[in-house]
Structure formats: C-alpha cells, structure tokens
Amino acid sequence: MLQPSDEYRGKLFVVEGVDGSGKSTQIQLLHKWLQAQGYSCFFSEWNSSPLVKRTTSRGKNRRLLTPLTFSLIHATDFADRTERNIIPPLQAGAAVLADRYVYTAFARDVARGCDPEWVRAVYSFAVKPTIAFYFRVPLEVALERILSGRPELKWYEAGMDLGLSDDPYESFKIFQARIMEQYDRIVEEFGLTVIDGTLPIAVQQQQVRELVAPHLAGLLRRPEDAWVTVPTEGGARQ
C-alpha cells in the first residue's frame, strides 16, 4: 500500500516499462511540453541519488551484489530521492516526473527472487502517483531495440548473477521475460495506465498528454510565465 498523495498540491507522473519500451523518450517529451506550457517541473530518475551511486557502481564492478543487497541499495537510493527531489516539489505544488518508480523494484527485485510482499513493504513509504504509465511492448520488440544499440551487455543488466544461462544474451532474454511477467501483474494490482509502446512516438505522446492534462489545473507555474507579452498594432499588451 502506497501513501496517498491528496495532501500535496503537486502532481506525480511516472513512467514504467522494460528497457527498450520507449518510456524514457515519452517522459522527456512530456517534460518539455509541461515546461513549454509554463508549469514548474521536477525530474527524478531511477538509481541517480549521489548518496549511494558510488557504492552501487563499486558493487556492480566487483560483482558483489546479491538480489537482496541490490534491492536494499535501490531502496536507499529511492528513499533519498523521495525526501530531496519528490516530496518538496509536490508540497510546493509542482509537477514531478519520474523515469521509473517503485514498480521497477516490484518487477526487477521479484524477478531476481525477492519476496513480493517484502519488496512492497520496503517501499510502503512511497507516494502514490497521480498517473503511472506502463509502456507495454512485446519482448521481441524490446530486445531488438536494446541489442541494436548495445554491442555488449552488462553483467547485472543481463541477469548473469542469477545463473540463468552462460550466454549473456540468452540470460538477458530470460531475465527480461521474467520482468515483463511481473509488470503484467503490477498493472492489475496497482492500476497502471497501459500505453501501446509499438505505436508511433507522436501518437503515444498525444495519449500521454491527454491523460495528464486534466490534472494540471492549479499546479505551480514558473514566475516568468505568469505574464506573457503579446505584440499588437498599438504596442504590447500583457
């Protein structure tokens, strides 16, 4: 159970999906659109807290992370970003955009063997998003997008720590399939809004904007956008 967001003036919009789903492209486009509309926007990205970034990198490079330590490190990262980058803007009435949220942990950690109830309890302090988008794509499409741009897969990215296969690419496919299976369950459990990730980028973005737009009334706007000068024949009006 996530924490209600009713007490905050701001709105929280998050995107989820497997690697190659196109979610990052969509959240970036939404970010630019909201800024162009004059809204104050704050962006938060998964696994980006400086508090644990060095520890995470060291653990990955030395292949020391177990599924449990991996989960706890990401939870620490998320807790720090929630306190510093998510809650304050929501309190101020701004729009907060998150590229991956707790649902990433619910999918990846469980795919790695962690207990689903335990993972959900660890993240129970998280604020429930206004809208959580899940960009659904077939496994073959996601794999084609990822592997076309990555000549070499990383150890943990490919799920090599799980002993699924000696072949990194085969292990990657098995691991991603597990994650997608968990996402399908999460969609039902938490009511994520599904977007067809195989549609043209512009079509997906239009769907996202139409769903976000009704929640923008009353959000904090940037001071410089409070007044707009419009040239007229008689000079300028505000």
Amino acid sitting at position 132: A
12 three-class SS: strand
Residue 52 domain boundaries: 11-237
Nearest of 40, 14, 46, 236 to residue 134 by alpha carbon: 14
pLDDT of res. 156: 87
Q: Which residues contact 46 (CB under 8 A, 6 or more apart)?
A: 74, 77, 78, 98, 99, 100, 101, 104
Tell me if 182 is assigned to some domain: yes
pLDDT of residue 58: 85
Q: What is the pLDDT of residue 148?
A: 82
* The predicted structure's pLDDT at residue 224: 62
Report if residue 5 sits inside a domain.
no
| Residue whose entry in the numeric block shows the structure tokens 């999906």 | 17
Residue 206 lies in a domain: yes
Q: How far is CA 32 from the centre of its chain?
A: 16
Backbone conformation region of residue 123, classed left if phi is above 0, alpha if psi is from -120 to 50, else beta: alpha
Question: Is 134:17 a contact under the CB 8 Å cutoff?
Answer: yes
On whether residue 18 sits in a domain, the answer given is yes
131 domain residue, yes or no: yes
The C-alpha atoms of residue 73 and residue 55 are separated, in whole angstroms, by 8
Rounded Cα gap, residues 44 and 163, in angstroms: 32
Residue 60 inside a domain? The answer is yes
CATH code at position 144: 3.40.50.300
Domain count, the chain: 1
pLDDT of the residue at 229: 30
Asked if residue 228 belongs to a domain, the reply is yes
Burial 57-84 (b: 16+ CB within 10 A, else e): eebbeeeebebeebbbbbbbbbbebbee
**Residue 99: phi, psi to the nearest 5?**
-90, 95
Answer whether residue 61 is part of any domain.
yes
pLDDT at residue number 227: 34
Mean pLDDT of residues grouped by 10 in the chain (238 residues)?
92 96 96 96 90 83 88 94 96 97 97 96 97 96 83 84 92 93 96 98 98 96 53 33
